[in-house]
């Protein structure tokens, strides 16, 4: 399974944009890039995913490098509720289950 590398922790100020990086140099052509986040004492929740093109939704934006070996999750205006562990995961598109293999994630702290 292809792996991802993320910084262990990041800090941001409230109301400022946050860029969370992820390296996935061994990504294969069929792997989708998924981002999930986990708030304390809760299960992970979906944030965004993409294959090749940049993606936007109401929660965030996903910028994917042209060679697909890295990506960046962008939270446009961080709030205190965005403090969580953010996981960047590759999901295998060649199989029929697409199981998620989680890494350690980035713990995001948001300061008021």
CB of 45 to other proteins, least distance (A): 7
Closer by beta carbon to other proteins, 63 or else 92: 92
Question: CB-wise, 5 or 13, nearer to other proteins?
Answer: 5
Short-list 68, 38, 82, 74, CA closest to 56 = 74
- Residues at the interface with other proteins (CB under 8 A): 30-32, 34, 36, 41-46, 49, 51, 87, 91-93, 95-105
In angstroms, give the least distance from the CB of 93 to other proteins: 4
Beta carbon of residue 77, minimum distance to other proteins (angstroms, whole number): 23
97: which 2 tokens?
């289950």
Pull the structure tokens for residue 77.
């205006």
The rounded distance, in Å, linking the Cα atoms of 46 and 57 is 11
> Which one, 74 or 100, has the nearer CB to other proteins?
100
Residue with tokens 């996903």: 62
Count the helices and strands in the chain (H runs, E runs). Answer: 0, 9
């Amino acid at each position: 399974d292809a792996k991802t590398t993320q910084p262990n922790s990041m800090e941001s100020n409230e109301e400022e944009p946050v860029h969370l990086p992820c390296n996935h140099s061994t990504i294969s052509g069929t792997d989708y890039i998924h981002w999930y986040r986990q708030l304390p004492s809760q299960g992970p929740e979906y944030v965004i995913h993409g294959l090749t093109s940049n993606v936007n939704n109401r929660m965030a934006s996903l910028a994917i490098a042209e060679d697909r070996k890295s990506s960046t999750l962008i939270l446009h205006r961080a709030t205190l509720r965005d403090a969580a562990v953010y996981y960047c995961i590759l999901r295998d598109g060649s199989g029929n289950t697409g199981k998620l293999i989680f890494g350690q994630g980035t713990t995001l702290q948001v300061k008021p």
